[in-house]
Amino acid sequence: MAEPTPSTENEPVAVASRIPSTDLLGVYRMMVTSRVVDERCLTLQRQGRIGFYVPMQGQEAAQVACAWALSPEDWIFPAYRELGVALTRGIPLKLLLDQFIGNAGDAMKGRQMPNHYGYRAFRFVTASSPVGTQIVQAVGTAMAARRKGEPIVTVTFFGDGTTSSNDFHSGLNFAGVVQAPTIFFCQNNQWAISLPREKQTRSETLAAKGVAYGVPGVVVDGTDVHAVYAAVVQARERALAGGGPTLIEAQVYRLGPHSTSDDPRRYRSDAELNQWKAKDPIARLKSELLADGQLTEEADRDLWESTKSEVSKALAAAEAMPPVDPRTMFDDVFARLSPQLEEQRLSFEELPSPNPVRT
């Protein structure tokens, strides 16, 4: 596997757009939180306490730094691996855990796969399993916002495998033609499940794929929070100024499996994994904070322990929630239930159940 080679296509990254020093510790805390939650959720799935999970270990810098550069008013269109983006956006951990478990606190009412969450209040659109569907949606939302005079951008996240999808090419062409204020954020984690990047495309970079559609492409080291932040700040400013979309390729590595249904030991080597573990984005930022005197080893240990404690408390609260009321299957179909659905609901309530409906 080739070494990550931060570079640019068409436009340079603005060096001046580094994360403010006063924000760095907050960024680090968010990255640590993302790692702790991610590891815990993987364990929960193995224990049978949640049904499915998509890990993001190794991609914390790319996700947190990108989300840090956005406005709360910007709309986010995630794939299914953006836990760090969700936490940085401010979505409460218990709300996420409620969705993973599928309990009565789940805003999706148990109707989505675990790890496929979305919350309108946070402008975080529900994830979808088919790859790339969110890309065209992000472009359409950006066009609508511009017509309404809203000074926002939309950001859509996807992986390297998605750059081979129809939606990717349709979305970039659409955005290029209408100059939509959209940021296309590709997390190139080197593997499209079990397919390595070099067997997927002959393009020198994934960012270069935007050139055909008139969309500038930028390649950044996704383990460097400053490089990611700078690229997103520049892309956002450009979009708001009417300069159109940008395709950002953040070169990262998925340290864990593609999902809990995957065994990466079947298709990648330990040598490759260890090579990228040495570039752990959390360790990289920790070293910077230690050198700057913003963090000590003792404070770092306390941070990890307190974060683990907070996650355990949120999990306990989520697991104490009752199951989803089965009567909710009749909700959200019509503003007012039709006579047929009313009849079906009444018939359903008369059925015996091993789990009595809670009122």
Catalytic residue list = 254, 258, 267
CA dihedral 41, 130, 116, 78 (to 10 degrees): 100
Report the half-sphere exposure of 184 (CA within 13 A, side-chain side).
40
Contact predicate 230/12, CB 8 Å:
no
Angstrom CA distances, 341 to 110, 180, 241, 350, stand at 20, 42, 50, 14
Scanning the chain, the segments in alpha helix (DSSP H) are 21-46, 60-68, 83-89, 93-101, 133-147, 166-178, 225-240, 270-277, 281-292, 297-319, 339-349
Tell me the three state secondary structure of residue 151: coil
Angstrom CA distances, 171 to 61, 250, 337, stand at 26, 19, 37
- Give strand ranges (E) for 16-114: 75-77
Q: How far apart are the first and last CA of the chain?
A: 56
Structure tokens at 6: 């931060």
For residue 187, the surrounding DSSP H or E stretch is strand 182-188
| DSSP label of 143 | H
Compute the distance between CA of residue 306 and CA of residue 189 in angstroms, rounded to an integer.
Answer: 29
- What length does the chain have? 359
| DSSP label of 124 | B
Tell me the three state secondary structure of residue 359: coil
Contact predicate 99/315, CB 8 Å:
no
